Every structure is written in structure tokens, then in C-alpha cells.
């Protein structure tokens, strides 16, 4: 015969586990499931440096959908993007636009340059990017035909030649200025 106190412990344990599962599944600390869409600010403040561009709808897309996306600027400053991002750093190969846009939405800045840029200029940009390791994604970009383009969320600065002082001003004033929220 089972002792009556054991039943109380079993019932209490089942209720506690059920409450924990409910909290994790549907509560404000939801762990399971995924965000279904990003709520991007469609009217961020104007860019302190460079030109301010309209914000496109910015849903999360799959890798299969990325080839069908047409951005409103080249390189893009907002729009559909992957639900994962690229780590700030220096990349030797181009980074897909949907990764760049996600990085911009998270407050990073992209330093994108023409693939035919001379190696000494790439070296200068690489040193610059490494002085901003938490804020800059640097890579060649096929849509930049000459010079350098710096992008932030809704911001674009084109330079015919890389100018470190201007790039520093852009990064310090644009990186981290946009904070997006999530909708479930």
C-alpha cells in the first residue's frame, strides 16, 4: 500500500513541472518556438552622416527566398533578411545581403567595397574595421562598383576613396543607434 504523503508529493511535483512548462512555453520568458517576425522601426531618426533611405518591410526570410528579394538600394540598408546574423569582422569573400541587413538591424555597420579595390586600400580598411570589432562587418560587395559604401539601418554613405575620419564619424554615430523589437 502506498503511503498517503507520497501522493501529495507526486501531485505537487506534477503541478510544479506543469507550471514550469507553461511558463517556458507561453509566458514572457518563452524559450520554445521562434519569433515569427521582426518589428523594424519604419521611421528611424535621420542619419547623422550620409543619406537617409526609406525603410523597407523587413521580414525574416529563408535562404531559398533570398534570391527573389529586390532591395531599394545597392547595397541594401533595410529589407528582408535572415533570422540569423553574421558576426562583426573582416571577410575576404562577399557576405549575402540578407546577412548584412540582419547585422544592420542589430545595430552593426557594414563597410563594403568594390571587388577590384587595390590591396593597399583594403589593408587600410581592414585596420580600420579591426579598431571597431563589435560594430563593423567588412567585405567586398558585388553591388559596389567603385569606391566604398558604408551602411547602417536606413543609412548609406558612399565614398569614392576610403577616408578613415569620415568612416569613423559614420561608425561612431550610426552603429548601435537602431534598436529593434520582436513580435511573436
Tens of pLDDT along 148-165? 999 999 999 999 999 999
Q: 108 is in which domain, residue-wise? A: 37-183
Residues 68 and 114 in one domain: yes
Residues 127 and 105 in one domain: yes
Is pTM, for the whole model, over 0.85?
Answer: no
Residue 15 pLDDT level (bands cut at 50, 70, 90): confident
Residue 34 has pLDDT above 70, yes or no: no
What is the total count of domains within the chain? 2
Please state whether beta strands 51-52 and 155-159 pair in parallel, antiparallel, or not at all (unpaired). antiparallel
Whether residues 117 and 155 fall in one domain: yes
Residue 64 and residue 136 share a domain = yes
pLDDT band at 181 (very low <50, low <70, confident <90, very high): low
Residue bearing the bigger pLDDT, 61 or 176: 61
| HSE-CB for 150 with a 13 A CA cutoff | 30
Shortest CA distance to 75 belongs to which of 105, 98, 93, 59?
98
> 116 with 169, same domain?
yes
Do 159 and 144 meet the contact criterion of CB atoms below 8 Å apart?
no
Do 112 and 179 reside in the same domain of the chain?
A: yes
Residues 51 and 83 in one domain: yes
Based on the domain organization, do 22 and 63 belong to the same domain? no
**pLDDT interval class at 18 (50, 70, 90):** low
Residue 54 has pLDDT above 90, yes or no: yes
Q: 52 and 77: one domain?
A: yes
User: What pLDDT is attached to residue 70?
Assistant: 96
Please compute the mean of the pLDDT values over residues 133-141 and round it to a whole number.
97
Residues 146 and 125 in one domain: yes
Q: What residues form DSSP beta bridges with 181?
A: 39
Amino acid at each position: 500500500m502506498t503511503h498517503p504523503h507520497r501522493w501529495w508529493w507526486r501531485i505537487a511535483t506534477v503541478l510544479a513541472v506543469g507550471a514550469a512548462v507553461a511558463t517556458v512555453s507561453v509566458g514572457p520568458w518563452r524559450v520554445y518556438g521562434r519569433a515569427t517576425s521582426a518589428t523594424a522601426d519604419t521611421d528611424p531618426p535621420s542619419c547623422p552622416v550620409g543619406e537617409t533611405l526609406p525603410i523597407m518591410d523587413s521580414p525574416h526570410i529563408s535562404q531559398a527566398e533570398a534570391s527573389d528579394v529586390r532591395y531599394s538600394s545597392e547595397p541594401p540598408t533595410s529589407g528582408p533578411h535572415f533570422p540569423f546574423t553574421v558576426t562583426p569582422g573582416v571577410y575576404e569573400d562577399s557576405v549575402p545581403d540578407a546577412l548584412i541587413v540582419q547585422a544592420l538591424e542589430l545595430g552593426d555597420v557594414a563597410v563594403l567595397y568594390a571587388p577590384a579595390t587595390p590591396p593597399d586600400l583594403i589593408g587600410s580598411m581592414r585596420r580600420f574595421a579591426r579598431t571597431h570589432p563589435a560594430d563593423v562587418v567588412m567585405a567586398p560587395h558585388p553591388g559596389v562598383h567603385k569606391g566604398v559604401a558604408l551602411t547602417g539601418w536606413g543609412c548609406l554613405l558612399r565614398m569614392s576613396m576610403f577616408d578613415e575620419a569620415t568612416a569613423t564619424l559614420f561608425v561612431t554615430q550610426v552603429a548601435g543607434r537602431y534598436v529593434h523589437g520582436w513580435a511573436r
